[in-house]
Amino acid sequence: METAFDPQANYEASKRKAGYVSRKNATQQNYDRIGFMSGLEVHQQLLTREKLFCHCPAGIYNKSDTYDAELVRHMRPTLSELGEYDGTALMEFKTRKEIIYRLRNETACTYEVDDTPPFPINKEALEIAIEISLLSKLNIVGEVHITRKQYLDGSIPTGFQRTAIIGVEGQIQLKNKTVRLIQLSIEEDSCREISDIGHIRIYKTDRLGMPLIETVTYPDCVNPDEVKEACDYIRFLNRSTGKVRTGIGSGRQDVNVSCRGGSRVEIKGVAHTRWIPELTHNEAFRQWSLLLLKEQLKLKITDPANWRIESRPLIPDDDQLMYAPLAQAIARKQPVMLIRLPGFKGALSHFTQPGKCFADEISDRLKVIACLEKPNLLHSEMLKEEIPSAEWKQFARKAAAGYDDALILVWGPEADIPTALETIEERCRMAFEGIPPETRKSFADGTTIFERVLPGADRMYPDTDSAPIPLDDKLISTLGKNLPTDIIQRYQQLQQWAVPEDTFTFILSKNLYPLLERIVNDFQYQPSMVGTFIGHRLKNLMGKKNNSRFKPGKIYHLFEFLKTENLDPVLAWHMLPILMEHPRIEFESALTIMKFKRVADADIKSKISTLLQKFVPIKGKTDPKHRQNWIMGQLRKTAAGNINLTHLANYIISTEQ
Amino acid sequence: MSEDIFQGYKGSALELLKKFSTRVWGQAEVETTRGTFIGTILPRSENDDDQHVVMKIATGYNVGIDVATVLSMKETGYKKANYKIPEKQFPVTPGLPKVKLFGTGGTIASRLDYRTGAVIPAFSPGELYGAVPELADICNLETEKLFAVFSENMGPKQYIALAKAIGKEIELGVDGIVIGHGTDTLHHTGAALTFMCQNLPVPVVLVGSQRSSDRPSSDAALNLMHAMKTAGTADIAEVMVCMFGPTSDEYGLLHKGTRVRKMHSSYRSTFRTIGDTPLAMVNREKVTPIHKTYNKRRNDKNVRILPYFSDEVTMLYYYPGMKPDTLDALVNAGYRGIIIVGTGLGHVNKELYPAIERAHAKGVHMFMTLQTIWGYVHMFVYDTGRDMMAKGIIPTGNMLPEVAWVKLSWILGQTDDPDEVKRLMLTPVNDEITQREPYNGYLVYQGGVPEVENFVKKVHK
């Protein structure tokens, strides 16, 4: 091994070579160069009273340590109807996890834990899903077939999710492009994970079985911002029905990303749409950089088919390895393996994501597949030195490592070591092929880690416990009658009304457009004024503590009151904080709290002539404007709320002429 | 075109497929009034309507297309699916016990049948090894498919065939026998085989699965491992039912064929020993007896096969206000034996008395069992009981109703002599009547009670 090898320098060099640019500096040219391609799977919980296939209440959540009983299951792959085992299925089986489910009698019955067959599908949920499918311009199926989609991670106790297609082939219209939709399905939500340590994974079952829809787009987005826009659009569309859940966890998305020559990688469970741009950006570049690695390995390793890792147990001296996790493993009498990766020099420290290198890809897989908790390896190209390079030289001698080789140290329970070695070799060999299709878990900093092998269509089975549900034309046309208008139409209308653009997201995401429209139509107020009130004033106050429970529908009655009482709508700005603080207060009382006094227009205007006489011009300021401003100043306090101030100012000018 | 290429389709849907020359397993583009659908045409379940065509779309989902909405259809390709469980040679390991698996048609390991939407059992050792490779660490396996019927269709003919097959296998020197069986009547078969196969030298283990093996969380694989472990290594040479102890994937329970009952329609832990404790617990490592005494494994082959069964025995589940004509009807239909399932300690109303007398006069054998499931028939406590005994109804202790039906059928297959029938009925073959009910033989705890809730929170039930 070369002694002067600098992993950090190699990392930076590979990052440059891959042409990585930060998202801030990236242009469409950057994305076109790497062939950025992305699509979405947007999940949305439906607002129903009960769960999808049983009569448990939906939307009641339990704390992790609040449960009445626990039970244990293991998942085993089964054969698909096309006669094949699914890749993910086999991987999950390899991991041999013991899955523990915590249940609370209030929120889970024997259906959730798969001890009772499904009850007929929740009709309320089915109808909402059809409405949203119609809004998404999808072709509605003639008959709904409940399908079992295998999940061997244990997130559903049956080992599969009951899911069904409602519509296929639709589209949404963004500002500047159309994004095509593949399908919309209705499905049951999964368990929430409590912990996953070693071979034990714990879930809670409160969310399990709640009705959910999934809207899947084609990979039509060509830059990170487009992905976010499409995602926002779908979420706003779902919310425009007013029949979906809002709040933390009620909408989640999986984002599929690839670059040219790469593979479809699914970033799972992105909690906020604002995370999307950074995540998709990094993923596309991760793939691009791995393709570069592939090219580099190709030059060095001429016979990839026969490439093997070489491993030997390492028996360290008692005080040799000061790295704490490794020392602990040795103290626990766990085996330590020294692994030689022929020809892999420079690969382990090859850039993948900001702050991450190829060795992390291996480490992530060891955690998931071999159940080795992190940190689970050390390697000869650590970006941060954990054991001195002198040690590595010694290891290199022991492993008979040549100039072009790299080394890995891995440790853990003896039973998991064979899987660990297999996993390391497998991931290295994948580097010759390109990008392994996988699902990845997202983090707020925009990076991702390996979660699972990407499952294919092979994991779908018909649900033998459920009969098909016919959807006749009559039902569909009935449901189609009361659909909200399209998000793009609403967007365009807001523009036309000259409502400030920075209010759109709040208005559409909170589905306040119908409220705005009603206020404008019923009371003929300026749309831009009402839009600003909602998008600025309401948004601002709703963001404050204790105000989140305010029901925006009250605003309609507020404007109705101002209209009927012939008061200036500007009062709404001052009344709103009071209405939020005292949810049951009457509008009149709110005015009293504000010490507002009603004065008739005529009374205010009648004072103008007296004031005109009283005006004493200050030296040098003889312009009529000064006089008018002074009068306005005298009247402002009484007038505010009773009469439009601009109107009053104009009136003052007109009386003088 | 032969019928097979339109698998499961009928009426309008069949007409449509024919009209557009589109086959099952054909890739098709379908234009409808609701838009275009592209995918593979799948067979249709025979019991579903004739108004829809089923299609698998590219994402793997199935959808139905309303025949009335179809404008046109075009077959663009064809690819028939091949259902096959990966079959691997079941390895023979010297030193492991030799276990025979009889198949009766349960869903112990299976694949899907598209036509009916049902599951097809995997059965050959190679198929089983492909599905549950762990079995090879437990035993050397041989299999034989005796019949393929659903549990509810198991009956006298199958009991007799099974008993004879068991006898033959013991003669050939097997270490243990496992019978794969649907769960609905697992306990009836358990009782029948206990009576028909007496003095067993090896374990005979009945096993099924509550969740068919086409789902990842199925209990099938673990049940199968437990059953093989029992058959191969247990010291208990009796007819046993081996199913989940708790609903969790933890351990199995071994129940005597004569004391076990299916107690829940869908729970994994549905089989319970009634009025006693189970025989033993079993996991993948070992069998742990709960009972101190049981019939031990032997090296001889001295099994007695008594393959008798009369189909002239019926059951009468009593309800308040039952009229005598119900009993008369059964007698007139020619039944020679009637198991009455009475209330409480074993009662029926006075109105039935004349019919009971008429039945007795005709030589019909009548025995009393209990709707309460747990406990003993006790007909001396009230006058009603004493009256009935006088009229010829014989109490059967704590024999379970289904077991009593099986036993009387087995007895009437051998004799019609009232004294002999009574003697055989009341002489236990293997604890179908026990001398005593242990305190822990009746445990039906109620949720909501604090101490029970505490227990349930700590122990996987």
Band of pLDDT at residue A564, cut at 50, 70 and 90: very high
Total H helices, total E strands in chain A: 22, 23
Residue among A76, A114, A468 whose CB faces B221 most closely: A76
Contact A68 B456 (CB under 8 A): yes
Distance CA B201, CA B303 (A): 7
Check: CB of residue B371 under 8 Å from CB of residue B318: yes
CA A529 to each of CA A284, A495, A532, A607: distance values in angstroms, whole numbers, following the listed order: 43, 13, 5, 29
Residues of B noted as catalytic: 107, 183-184, 262
Mean pLDDT lowest among A381-385, A424-428, B318-322: A381-385
Band of pLDDT at residue B119, cut at 50, 70 and 90: low
Q: How far is B181 from chain A (nearest CA, A)?
A: 19
Q: Closest residue of A to B210, CA-based?
A: A115
Amino acid at A261: G
Contact A182 B59 (CB under 8 A): yes
Domain membership of residue B439 (yes or no) is: no
Distance CA B271, CA A105 (A): 23
Q: Which residue has the tokens 């059967």?
A: B396
Establish, for the pair of chains A and B, how many residue pairs have beta carbons separated by less than 8 Å.
Answer: 184
Q: Which residues contact A611 (CB under 8 A, 6 or more apart)?
A: A630, A631, A634, A635
B160 and B260 belong to one structural domain? yes
Contact A168 B63 (CB under 8 A): yes
Identify all chain B residues contacting A141, using CB atoms and an 8 Å cutoff. 34, 37, 63-65
Q: How far is A61 from chain B (nearest CA, A)?
A: 18
Query: Is the pLDDT assigned to residue B432 strictly greater than 90?
Result: yes
Identify all chain B residues contacting A160, using CB atoms and an 8 Å cutoff. 215-216
Write out pLDDT tens, residues A431-485. 999 999 999 999 999 999 999 887 766 677 888 889 999 999 999 999 999 899 9
Q: Best interface-test mutation with B: which of A130, A145, A147, A254 has the largest number of B CBs within 10 A? A: A145
pLDDT reported for residue B123? 65
Residue burial A348-359, b: 16+ Cβ < 10 Å; e: rest? bbbbbbeebbbb
Distance CA A445, CA A431 (A): 25
- The CATH class for the domain spanning A7-11+304-435 reads alpha beta
Q: How far is B261 from chain A (nearest CA, A)?
A: 17
Reduced to 3 states (helix: H, G, I; strand: E, B; else coil), residue A60 is coil
Query: Is the pLDDT assigned to residue B98 strictly greater than 90?
Result: yes
Q: Best interface-test mutation with A: which of B217, B244, B451 has the largest number of A CBs within 10 A? A: B217
Query: Is the pLDDT assigned to residue B81 strictly greater than 80?
Result: no
Q: Closest residue of A to B132, CA-based?
A: A76
Reduced to 3 states (helix: H, G, I; strand: E, B; else coil), residue A510 is coil
Domain membership of residue B438 (yes or no) is: no
Express as a percent the part of chain A with pLDDT over 90: 72
Q: Best interface-test mutation with B: which of A53, A54, A67, A71 has the largest number of B CBs within 10 A? A: A71
Q: What is the mean pLDDT of chain B?
A: 91
B129 and B233 belong to one structural domain? yes
Contact A69 B457 (CB under 8 A): yes
B292 and B344 belong to one structural domain? no
Q: What is the mean pLDDT of chain A?
A: 91
Domain membership of residue B52 (yes or no) is: yes
Band of pLDDT at residue B114, cut at 50, 70 and 90: very low
Identify all chain B residues contacting A138, using CB atoms and an 8 Å cutoff. 35
Crossing angle for the helix pair A601-614 and A624-639, to the nearest 10 degrees: 140
Q: Is the ipTM of this complex over 0.85?
A: yes
pLDDT reported for residue A547? 80
B125 and B257 belong to one structural domain? yes
Backbone torsions φ then ψ of B364, nearest 5 degrees:
-75, 130
Write out pLDDT tens, residues A122-147. 999 999 999 999 999 999 999 999 99
Reduced to 3 states (helix: H, G, I; strand: E, B; else coil), residue A500 is coil
Amino acid at A473: D
Reduced to 3 states (helix: H, G, I; strand: E, B; else coil), residue A495 is helix
B219 and B277 belong to one structural domain? yes
Identify all chain A residues contacting B212, using CB atoms and an 8 Å cutoff. 464
Amino acid at A428: C
Domain membership of residue B89 (yes or no) is: no
Residue among B69, B215, B456 whose CB faces A159 most closely: B215
Q: How far is B205 from chain A (nearest CA, A)?
A: 24
Residue among B63, B215, B249 whose CB faces A160 most closely: B215
Side-chain half-sphere exposure of A525, counting CA atoms within 13 A: 31
B124 and B185 belong to one structural domain? yes
Identify all chain A residues contacting B119, using CB atoms and an 8 Å cutoff. 464
Backbone torsions φ then ψ of A191, nearest 5 degrees:
-70, 160
CATH assignment of the domain containing B17: 2.30.30.520
Band of pLDDT at residue B312, cut at 50, 70 and 90: very high
Q: What is the pTM for the complete model shown?
A: 0.89
A211-217 and A251-258 beta bridge pairing: unpaired
Residue among B60, B216, B453 whose CB faces A77 most closely: B216
Domain count, chain B: 3
Q: Is B445 exposed, middle or buried (0-12, 13-18, 19+ CB in 10 A)?
A: exposed
B53 and B102 belong to one structural domain? no
Domain membership of residue B345 (yes or no) is: yes
Reduced to 3 states (helix: H, G, I; strand: E, B; else coil), residue B22 is coil
Nearest to B220, CA basis, from A125, A159, A345:
A159
User: For the residues of B232-266, what is the DSSP string, one character each?
Assistant: HH-SB-SEEEEEESSSSSS-EEEEETTTEEE--SS
User: For the residues of B206-231, what is the DSSP string, one character each?
Assistant: EE--SS-TTSTT-SHHHHHHHHHHHH
Where a domain ends, among B43, B78, B113?
B78
CATH assignment of the domain containing B330: 3.40.50.40
Band of pLDDT at residue A546, cut at 50, 70 and 90: confident
Q: How far is B121 from chain A (nearest CA, A)?
A: 12
Distance CA A253, CA A44 (A): 8
B66 and B153 belong to one structural domain? no
Backbone torsions φ then ψ of B398, nearest 5 degrees:
-105, 30
Identify all chain B residues contacting A157, using CB atoms and an 8 Å cutoff. 217
pLDDT reported for residue B390? 86
Distance CA B136, CA A75 (A): 19
Write out pLDDT tens, residues A19-57. 999 999 999 999 999 999 999 999 999 999 999 999 999
Nearest to A196, CA basis, from A158, A154, A254:
A154
B293 and B363 belong to one structural domain? no
Distance CA A273, CA A650 (A): 47
Q: How far is B24 from chain A (nearest CA, A)?
A: 14
Identify all chain B residues contacting A68, using CB atoms and an 8 Å cutoff. 453, 456-457
Contact A71 B48 (CB under 8 A): no
What is the mean pLDDT of the segment spanning B84-97?
81
Amino acid at A279: L
Tokens of B102: 């009889």
CA B448 to each of CA A105, A427, A554, B223, B245: distance values in angstroms, whole numbers, following the listed order: 10, 51, 43, 31, 22
B295 and B330 belong to one structural domain? no
Contact B214 A458 (CB under 8 A): no
Q: How far is A435 from chain B (nearest CA, A)?
A: 21
B288 and B170 belong to one structural domain? yes
Identify all chain B residues contacting A74, using CB atoms and an 8 Å cutoff. 217, 222, 249
Tokens of B271: 């089989």
Amino acid at A23: R
pLDDT reported for residue B133? 81
Check: CB of residue B356 under 8 Å from CB of residue B256: no
Query: Is the pLDDT assigned to residue A113 strictly greater than 70?
Result: yes
B182 and B267 belong to one structural domain? yes
Contact B84 A83 (CB under 8 A): yes
A377-379 and A211-217 beta bridge pairing: unpaired
Contact A148 B215 (CB under 8 A): yes
Cis peptide before A375 (omega within 30 of 0): yes
Write out pLDDT tens, residues A162-201. 999 999 999 999 999 999 999 999 999 999 999 999 899 9
Identify all chain A residues contacting B62, using CB atoms and an 8 Å cutoff. 145, 147, 165, 460, 462
Band of pLDDT at residue A89, cut at 50, 70 and 90: low
Contact A75 B114 (CB under 8 A): no
Contact A462 B35 (CB under 8 A): no
Domain membership of residue B440 (yes or no) is: no
pLDDT reported for residue A253? 95
CA angle B297, B299, B303 (to 5 degrees): 75
Contact B35 A81 (CB under 8 A): no
Crossing angle for the helix pair A417-433 and A358-369, to the nearest 10 degrees: 140
Band of pLDDT at residue B246, cut at 50, 70 and 90: very high
Distance CA B174, CA B232 (A): 9
pLDDT reported for residue B117? 47
pLDDT reported for residue A51? 98
**What is the dihedral sign for C-alpha A73, A75, A76, A82?**
positive
Mean pLDDT lowest among A162-171, A360-369, B132-141: B132-141
Check: CB of residue A101 under 8 Å from CB of residue A129: no
What is the mean pLDDT of the segment spanning A211-217?
98
Q: How far is A442 from chain B (nearest CA, A)?
A: 24
CATH assignment of the domain containing B129: 3.40.50.1170
The residue count for chain B: 461
Q: Which domain holds residue B323?
A: 313-426
Q: Best interface-test mutation with B: which of A79, A163, A166, A191 has the largest number of B CBs within 10 A? A: A79
Q: What is the dihedral of CA A410, A414, A416, A418, to 10 degrees?
A: 80
Mean pLDDT lowest among A616-630, B258-272, B357-371, B373-387: A616-630
Contact B112 A74 (CB under 8 A): no
Query: Is the pLDDT assigned to residue B126 strictly greater than 50?
Result: yes
Contact A169 B35 (CB under 8 A): yes
Query: Is the pLDDT assigned to residue A81 strictly greater than 50?
Result: no
Distance CA B112, CA A271 (A): 37
Tokens of B278: 């189970």
